[in-house]
Amino acid sequence: MKRIPTCILLLASLSGVIVVHAAGEDWVLGTWELAHDPDGSEKDWLEFRPDGEVYSVWPNGQRVEGIYIVAPNSVKAVFTHEGRDVITTFHFDAQRQVPKIVTSETREESIYRKTDSPPGPQAPWQP
């Protein structure tokens, strides 16, 4: 019986239904800036919104849209770029201050930090 709600949730999330974040997940909302990348990638930003949308903002101002879900110690995001879905998992420390992601090139951790600065050349989304 548990499979039906899980299947419905999966289908709903894949079909573009808006997912609203749950109470107690406000800590993830806002702008996160790339603070350290062992591969030498350019700085980028992540914008998490309360409607379940997330944007990856690149230095040139390009915004790649995605959706996210919050787990106890991680945030999973699916970005759609050039017709392909890119699944990303950000692992957080116990205080939810430092999201880390393992890079594809060196398999080392890139680190993001929460910031009040605007992401890239555009102003951030304001709640």
What is the DSSP annotation of 64-110?
Answer: EEEEEEEETTEEEEEEEETTEEEEEEEEE-TTS--EEEE-TTT-PEE
Residue range 20-115, CATH number: 2.40.128.490
Tell whether the model's pLDDT for residue 6 goes beyond 80: no
pLDDT tens profile 19-66? 444 556 788 899 999 988 888 888 899 999 999 999 999 988 899 999
Using 50, 70 and 90 to split pLDDT, how confident is the model at 80? Answer: very high
Record the tokens describing residue 47, joined without a space.
Answer: 């914008």
Provide the percentage of residues in the chain whose pLDDT is more than 70.
Answer: 69
Alpha helices in 15-78 (DSSP H): none
Domain ranges (residues) in the chain: 20-115
Phi, psi of 92 (to 5 degrees): -105, 155
Confidence (pLDDT) at 26: 82
Phi, psi of 117 (to 5 degrees): -70, 150
